[in-house]
Amino acid sequence: MEQQAVHMPLLGDPFPQVSLQTTQGMLNLPGDLKGSWFILFSHPADFTPVCTSEFVAFQKLIPEFEKLGVKLIGMSIDQITSHIKWLEWIKEKLGVEITFPLAAANDAIAMTLGMLHPGKGTNTVRAVYIVDPNGIIRLILYYPQEIGRFMPEVLRAVKALQISDKNHVSMPANWPNNELIGDHVIIPPPKTVAEAADRLQHYEGFDWWFCHKSL
């Protein structure tokens, strides 16, 4: 049997317009969050161990996300009543109150967002969309059902995107703990021969095409 093609948004695309029923009421994305960074992340199913551990981990980082002005929205295709009961269970059994909304998407919405894989049944994949204040998708992460996400990386990615946008710089591997330049950021490449020749007079670097600075 031929599998259905999956169409998913790409980096740099506007986030698709969707209306979601959440545990905190209706949410229209990206319109209701215009002017704010937000993260929409999907999970395969409520009342599953890996997903439960992820929600607790995201909640623990809420203060850090709030400092960056970032809003979190969880999502799966479970019913809203399942979501409510699951969040009650997490609060009662684990002592953690989930303060961000959890959306109950239908198959059409999940397919629009590329969160349903035809070979994985009806469970939504572990997808993460980081969206900027203009409603543009800036980063997409996908994890298999068997592997929980590393939440500090999601937080790091948002920090890096915001700093990159504000300062027109790039971030090295493992920033802010890069093996070569520590917490420095990378200067964009020069656009002319004259600028290349002058580059090392103004910045630290290994060559004119690899210069860096502190912020």
The tokens describing 92, both together, are 């009662």
Cis amide leading into 30 (omega within 30): yes
Give residues with Cβ within 8 angstroms of 209, minimum separation 6.
189, 190, 196
What Cα–Cα distance (Å) separates residue 180 from each residue in 20, 152, 174, 177, 215?
44, 21, 10, 9, 16
Q: What is the rounded distance in angstroms from the CA atom of residue 139 to the CA atom of residue 87?
A: 27
Cis amide leading into 176 (omega within 30): yes
For residue 122, give the DSSP letter.
T
Catalytic residue among 18, 20, 51, 87: 51
Q: CB-based burial of residue 178 (10 Å sphere; 0-12 exposed, 13-18 middle, 19+ buried)?
A: middle
Based on the residue annotation, tell me whether 51 is a catalytic residue of this protein. yes
> Catalytic amino acids?
51
